[in-house]
Amino acid sequence: MPDIIHLLSDHIANQIAAGEVIQRPASAVKELMENAIDAGATEIQLVIKDAGKELIQVIDNGKGMSTTDARMSFERHATSKIRDINDLFKIRTMGFRGEALASVAAVAQVEMKTCLHDSEIGTHIIIEGTEVKLQEACATPAGTNIMLKNLFFNVPARRHFLKSNTTEFRHIVDEFTRIALAHPHITFRLWHNGAEQYNLAAGNLKTRIVNLLGTSYEKNLVPAKEQTDLLNIYGFIGKPTAATRTRGMQFFFINNRFIRNAYLHHAVTAAYEGLIEKEAFPFYVLFLEVDPARVDVNVHPTKQEVKFEDDRLMYAYLNAAVKHALARFNIAPSLDFTLNPEVQHLSSIQVPADDAQRTQTQNSYLFNAFSQKGQAHLIEPTDSLKHWKELYAIAQLPATDATLQTEQQPLHAEQPMAAANAGNNVLLVQGTMLLTTIKSGIMLIHIRRAQERIWYERLLEEWNNGTTASQQLLFPVSYELPPQDAPLLTNVLPELARIGFDIAPFGQHTFAVQGVPAALPAGEEKNVLDEVVEQLKNESNDAVGNRADKLLIHMARRLSRNRHAIQQPEGQQALIDELFACTQPEYTPDGKKVFTLLRKEELDGMLG
């Protein structure tokens, strides 16, 4: 048989490598900016056109390259940072893959000008699809100016799968943000389609956070700093008021390299337990300095996932560091020993005791137990404890003729409604569920999910009829978003207006909330908008048609958190009536069960 194994050409090999390294325009931005940082640049400019599909340009004032190095930088596995295998385990630079520029050149039209600081003449190179079109001497400022044009021009399938410009540019801003946070001593500028988006002067970390992520963080930053033999931790965490329901404002850096690590994230969120809601995410920008030999950054092509030599120890140190920071600034929960002012108005304090009350108190068992030596731990052996059962009220469901019937019949919506209306036979269980009798047994209803189904159908009807009521706010609420998320909210303002929100842009990344849905509880507008933005960040291209439905689901979920309405029997009965008036009472809009049935036969079986 003929030989079938052969070597791939450099062109195809580079395109395969590009598939691992350059997944979207943001990937190329990351590689080029990290190269500029490794070159010692103090000023880096990023120019983007058409969300990176047309142009990605990085200009830096780093040390530049010689003519030979400029050409060698586009060869596969060419690097200035690795000499032997041991160097892989003590990497402190950003880029060291050795194939970044080769991969970029395989899927884009690349033009680069570079010059050493002590040289008067630089080098100009043009490469298309790994083929060198031009290499000549040129006059250019010291540093490097590299342009990527028409990304994926020779890989149409890859270009076809790129997302919308809004989404791709958001990913670019994500990479820009991580790099700018990690290097506050470097000046960064970003342009998109000719408009300047950022102009970040060199400074300290706190200034960089505020200038990059928004002024709302200025009063919510808490410094965190711990030094141990294993690692050093420093940076800032947010006060509980800075927590949001959107991911993305959580930044971990290992030796100045951005990483994702769910285990370390849990260490931080665990420190906030009791301070923020379970659905919220705390803000943090934390840097961990550790011996490179103790961490493996080569477990993923993007190097955003790492492995530690001792995960548990890292977890413990990080959790303690965050707790210490919160406690140091009096944010962690503490016992309040001050007297509640309301206590001062109680009659037992305001009205002096008379002689008869004093005598009665002094003769009581409780007074003697604590005033006589050795009595506090004793229980008085009298008949007073014989009636202990009277302290507990056993909740009983009133029996009806319907509950005594044992015949099996199919359950219809009108049957639960009729059974529930046959007297007050509804019991509140654990504050979260309702128990009611039906013809063939009992029904357990999840209160919040029932409210969610009711609100969804109510909102859907209003949406279809265009009758959603909006409540204008006396004082508009300012809603500030990270720069990369602001365009997402702008795109859905018409849909939000249709469900009752009156929102207008107010500055570059800020919005003014002037009206909210009439049924929305006061102060909930930010939580709803956080959830909407989080949904938009994770939606796929084909989800646009379902966007309105998802908005209604989020609104229904937010409105369904009213527990006060079911504290009284009238409210409980009303909930059951409204639930079984819905077109689909058995499931929530996202498919969770609202109620379950326990037939009499099952109950008999439970009791043997």
Instruction: Report pLDDT digits (tens) over 498-512.
Output: 888 899 988 778 899
Task: Calculate the alpha carbon distances from 234 to 3, 312, 372 in Å.
Answer: 58, 19, 56
The pLDDT score that the predictor gives to residue 393 is 39
Confidence of residue 36 (pLDDT cuts 50, 70, 90): very high
CATH number of the domain at 401-449+565-606, please? Answer: 3.30.1540.20
Map residue 447 onto helix, strand or coil.
helix
d(CA 405, CA 386): 38
Placement of tokens 């507008």 in the chain:
525
Domain with CATH 3.30.1540.20 in the chain: 401-449+565-606
Mean pLDDT of 87-95: 53
Confidence of residue 77 (pLDDT cuts 50, 70, 90): low
- Spatial contact of 46 and 146, defined as CB atoms under 8 Å apart: no
Query: By mean pLDDT, which of 5-9, 381-385, 585-589 is the weakest?
Result: 381-385
Whether 115 has a pLDDT exceeding 50, the answer reads yes
Which DSSP symbol is given to 469? Answer: -
Of residues 566 and 525, more confidently modeled: 525
Domain 10-200 -> CATH class: alpha beta
Domain with CATH 3.30.1370.100 in the chain: 470-518+522-561
DSSP run (H or E) holding 295: strand 295-296
Handedness of CA 239, 242, 243, 249 (dihedral sign): negative
- Spatial contact of 47 and 191, defined as CB atoms under 8 Å apart: yes
Express each pLDDT in 155-166 by its tens digit: 888 888 888 888
Per-residue tokens: 85: 């295998």
Per-residue tokens: 156: 């149409």
Domain with CATH 3.30.230.10 in the chain: 208-328
Confidence of residue 475 (pLDDT cuts 50, 70, 90): confident
Placement of tokens 């108005």 in the chain:
345
Contacts 24+ apart (CB under 8 A), 486-493: 486/511, 487/166, 487/169, 487/170, 488/166, 488/170, 488/533, 488/536, 488/537, 489/529, 489/532, 489/533, 489/536, 491/166, 491/536, 492/532, 492/536, 492/547, 492/551
Task: Calculate the alpha carbon distances from 199 to 176, 188, 195, 211, 408 in Å.
Answer: 12, 6, 11, 9, 73
Per-residue tokens: 43: 């000023």
Map residue 177 onto helix, strand or coil.
helix
d(CA 294, CA 310): 8
Handedness of CA 150, 154, 156, 162 (dihedral sign): negative
In the CATH scheme, what architecture does the domain 208-328 have?
A: 2-Layer Sandwich (3.30)
- Spatial contact of 297 and 306, defined as CB atoms under 8 Å apart: yes
CATH number of the domain at 470-518+522-561, please? Answer: 3.30.1370.100
Helix 165-182 and helix 205-213: axis angle, to 10°? 170
Q: Which residues contact 551 (CB under 8 A, 6 or more apart)?
A: 492, 495, 496, 499, 532, 535
Domain with CATH 3.30.565.10 in the chain: 10-200
Could you tell me if residue 439 is left (phi over 0), alpha (psi between -120 and 50 degrees) or otherwise beta?
alpha
Mean pLDDT of 549-574: 78
The alpha carbon of residue 172 and the mean position of all alpha carbons in its chain are separated, in whole angstroms, by 18
Task: Calculate the alpha carbon distances from 403 to 414, 436, 604 in Å.
Answer: 16, 10, 13
The pLDDT score that the predictor gives to residue 140 is 94
Of residues 483 and 220, more confidently modeled: 220
Express each pLDDT in 324-350 by its tens digit: 999 887 766 544 444 445 445 555 555
**CB burial readout 170-195, b (16+ within 10 A) else e:** bbbbbbbbbbbbbbbebbbbbbbeee
Whether 407 has a pLDDT exceeding 50, the answer reads no
Task: Calculate the alpha carbon distances from 527 to 191, 242, 245, 265 in Å.
Answer: 31, 12, 7, 21
